[in-house]
Amino acid sequence: MAKRQNESTAQADQLKEDLRHLSDTVEELVNATSKDASGEMRDLRTRAEQRLKDTRQRLEARGERIYEDTRDSLTHQADACDRYVHENPWTSIGIGAAAGVIIGMLIGRR
């Protein structure tokens, strides 16, 4: 589970970086060609601006979906953990006690 989250985080970070780089490049292109008055350059600039705007909107929507899916998943996992603890209180106490003993032993060694 943690590996999947790390991979998702890495992919999301890479996607953000790629989009930021693309956005900067297109904005530089638009700014560099803003003085060129030819009709073809105006059309190209307009299309580039529109594509950049569309891409930003799609990625924002995707980011919101990823956030909502992650929130729902975490809520579901927390509910499952809560149900398990309520259904198996003594097992949960035993697991907590064992973890406490192990952590105490590890801390005590130093």
What pLDDT score was predicted for residue 101? Answer: 94
How would residue 7 be classed by pLDDT, with cut points 50, 70 and 90? Answer: low
What pLDDT score was predicted for residue 37? Answer: 62
Packing angle of the helix pair 2-32, 39-87 (nearest 10 deg): 160
Interval 7-18 mean pLDDT: 73
Q: What is the pTM for the complete model shown?
A: 0.49
Secondary structure of residue 91 in the 3-state scheme:
helix
Non-local CB neighbours of 32 within 8 Å, separated by 6+ positions: none
Q: Give the rounded percent of residues in the chain with a pLDDT score beyond 70.
A: 85
Q: Computed from CA positions of residues 50, 56, 60, 62, in that sequence, does the dihedral angle turn out positive or negative?
A: positive
How would residue 99 be classed by pLDDT, with cut points 50, 70 and 90? Answer: very high
Q: pLDDT tens digits for 15-55?
A: 777 777 777 777 777 677 666 667 777 777 777 778 778 87
Instruction: Extract the tokens encoding 109.
Output: 């060694």
